């Protein structure tokens, strides 16, 4: 994803969709059109709105989509994007039923479509392209790849990296839901192949075992780039959802301790405070 990525916004006429379309355009992202069924023929934030993606594709070159559609309709919107061969598809929407997410991911897998999210702040290649809702000004170009399950905590850590003089190659949120399109392993694999990325900051949290899987992958593949991680939720009680649908300790699984242990064993530098991620990566 970069300067030449042409994207559409699905749900461009809603309040979130239109506000962030404006900010993405200001950042320099090539948002060529919007799609809202029923609002075709209108203009939003200076870009044309279509009823369907197919119509937008007839008028413009379109590669990717970013979705702000409300949860009950988000699956349908994403399926339209997948059927229209858009890739990646970024789903900002929070609160999508997990059954919808499971169906969606299965179809995306068959079409080889990359889904970023749902419940993600999006993806940014600093100064080139932002498909997301993050504050663009805190990111600076550089060599750190950042991958995260959260939103504002990502901004917190990105800002501290930037302040420490550590710019970023790509920052992306995989999403705070239990079922999301990308795993930490998927993103680590992308960063491994990316010549722009020389070290990785990983931000995890309680719930699931994506971090443990990442630790295993780092260990088994003798991952060639340094990784520093921060895991949120050491103080979280079991059985309670901490804001994100996916942030819940079930029984004994998904605790911050097991994640931290696994990552430490794999040679990942653990930051106990968000600000320490930058100091761990500074001397690499």
Partner 1 sequence: MKLFEYEAKEIARQYGVPVPDGILASTPQEAKAAFEKLNQPSMIKAQVLVAGRGKAGGIKPVTNAEEAFEVSRSLLSMTIKGENVEKVLVEQRLASKHERYVSMVVDRSSRCYTILCSTDGGIDIEQVADRSPEKIIRHKIDQLIGLQDFESRIVAKQLGYSGKQMNQLASIINKLFQIVLDYDAELIESNPLIETDSGEFVAADLRILLDDNALYRHPRFLERMKTYEPDMTALEIKAREKNLAYVELDGDVGIIGNGAGLVMATLDMILDYKGKAANFCDVGGGANEERIASALKIVLANSKVKVLLINIMGGITRCDDVARAILDIQKKMGITKPMVIRLVGTNEEEGQRILTAANIPSLNSMEEAAAKAVEIASKVK
The 10 Å Cβ neighbour count of residue 224 is: 8
Contact 187, 172 (CB under 8 A): yes
Given the complex with partner 1, which of 61 and 110 has the nearer CB atom?
110
Strands (E), 11-70: 30-35, 43-44, 47-50, 64-67
Given the complex with partner 1, which of 61 and 252 has the nearer CB atom?
252
Enumerate the H helices of 180-250 as residue ranges: 184-193, 210-220
Two tokens at 119? 């419940």
Stretch that binds partner 1, among 35-43, 61-69, 77-85, 232-240 (CB under 8 A): 232-240
Among 3, 42, 85, 98, binds partner 1 (CB under 8 A): 98
Residues from 149 through 178 that contact partner 1 (CB under 8 A) = 149-156, 159, 176, 178
132 lies in the site for partner 1, by CB under 8 A:
no
Among 11, 34, 88, 121, binds partner 1 (CB under 8 A): 121
280 lies in the site for partner 1, by CB under 8 A:
no
Catalytic status, residue 244: yes
SS3 assignment, position 90 = strand
Dist. CA 236–CA 247, nearest whole Å? 9
Given the complex with partner 1, which of 95 and 267 has the nearer CB atom?
95
CB of 194 to partner 1, least distance (A): 23
Q: Which of 6, 20, 137, 244 is catalytic?
A: 244
CB of 32 to partner 1, least distance (A): 23
What is the 3-class SS of 103-141, one letter each residue?
A: HHHHHHHHHCCCEECCCCCEEEECCCEEEECCCHHHCCE
Residue 50 CB partners (closer than 8 Å, separation 6+): 33, 34, 35, 40, 56, 59
The 10 Å Cβ neighbour count of residue 24 is: 24
Stretch that binds partner 1, among 76-84, 101-109, 188-196, 216-224 (CB under 8 A): 101-109
Determine the length of the chain.
284
Contact positions vs partner 1 (CB under 8 A)? 23, 71-72, 95-103, 105-107, 109-110, 121, 133-135, 137-138, 148-156, 159, 176, 178-179, 183, 203, 205-206, 208-210, 213, 230, 232-237, 239-247, 251-253, 256, 272-275
* Residues tagged active-site: 244
């Amino acid at each position: 994803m970069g300067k030449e990525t042409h994207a559409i916004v699905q749900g461009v006429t809603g309040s979130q969709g239109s506000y962030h379309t404006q900010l993405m355009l200001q950042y320099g992202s090539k948002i060529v059109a919007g799609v809202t069924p029923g609002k075709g023929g209108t203009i939003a934030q200076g870009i044309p709105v279509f009823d369907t993606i197919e119509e937008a594709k007839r008028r413009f070159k379109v590669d990717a989509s970013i979705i702000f559609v409300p949860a009950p309709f988000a699956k349908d919107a994403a399926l339209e994007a997948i059927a229209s061969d858009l890739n990646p598809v970024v789903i900002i929407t929070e609160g999508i039923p997990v059954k919808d997410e499971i169906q969606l991911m299965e179809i995306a897998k068959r079409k080889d479509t990359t889904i970023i999210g749902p419940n993600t702040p999006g993806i940014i290649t600093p100064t080139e392209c932002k498909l997301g809702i993050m504050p663009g000004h805190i990111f600076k170009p550089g060599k750190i790849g950042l991958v995260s399950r959260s939103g504002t905590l990502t901004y917190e850590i990105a800002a501290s990296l930037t302040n420490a003089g550590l710019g970023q190659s790509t920052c992306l949120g995989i999403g705070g839901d239990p079922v999301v399109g990308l795993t930490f392993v998927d993103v680590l694999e992308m960063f491994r192949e990316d010549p722009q990325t020389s070290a990785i900051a990983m931000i995890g949290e309680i719930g699931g075992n994506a971090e443990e899987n990442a630790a295993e992958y780092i260990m088994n593949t003798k991952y060639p780039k340094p990784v520093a991680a921060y895991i949120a939720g050491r103080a979280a009680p079991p059985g309670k959802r901490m804001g994100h649908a996916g942030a819940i300790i079930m029984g004994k699984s998904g605790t911050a301790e097991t994640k931290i242990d696994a990552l430490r064993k794999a040679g990942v530098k653990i930051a106990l405070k968000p600000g320490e991620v930058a100091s761990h990566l500074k001397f690499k």
